[in-house]
Structure 1
């Protein structure tokens, strides 16, 4: 009997990460493509102005078409003005980009970005009233001075 038949095939001693195992299979192609599109979106995002970047996301690149997804018609109009700039940026990254398509979706394509908060300022009277309200919420100190004294 040969050595191969007498012993079962050896498995690697270290477990493979689930994502690595999935990517090794032919079924991993859509996942690889999604990761590639996400990386491409991150590289093109700096070309978008701040308010627009939170509302637009690269959805696809296929046969020379860059497809963006926005969450309202207003952002679609603003993105349309930047189409030539984004095509040039994509070409500078080595992509064959000749056409620019924008689709509008009711569901947000990018995670919402919190708007920058303005610092809250209080008047002296408001500050004093807040401190007095907070002080009234503190329990009385049982070892403190008595009022009866």
Structure 2
């Protein structure tokens, strides 16, 4: 069986009924891997595919809102964003400046501004539920796959939470 959608085209299902779509999307001067996945095509609605298409089409705006959400957590000493920033400062030391795109003097702002959106995963079967529908993965150093922040979105594109990969 297969699903068809105006944006994604024909989504074939695997022998186990799973659905997968992958594309690379340009965001400024970087490329972002975007994956849509669901373990069972029966759990994927047209509304879910429409919501997924809207997220892919507005990736730049969601990226902007995700960074604002990260900045909003900087004042909370217990937030995972603050822990991530402190960890990057401790691990990188003087080498941190080499990864920053702009140095304003505010380390938290500079780190969040310099992070790269490395991937977007859309969990099409989670549309309308309480679990994340889409996950935007950010890293200061894209080669360091363990040190990432995840921005979780609901099906309507609203930011649900910012967490670390732990």
Q: Which structure has the highest strand share of the two?
A: 2
Fold-level similarity (TM above 0.5): no
After TM superposition, the score normalised by the length of structure 2 is: 0.27
Higher radius of gyration, 1 or 2: 1
TM-score in terms of structure 1 length: 0.29
Query: Per residue, is there more helix in 1 or in 2?
Result: 1
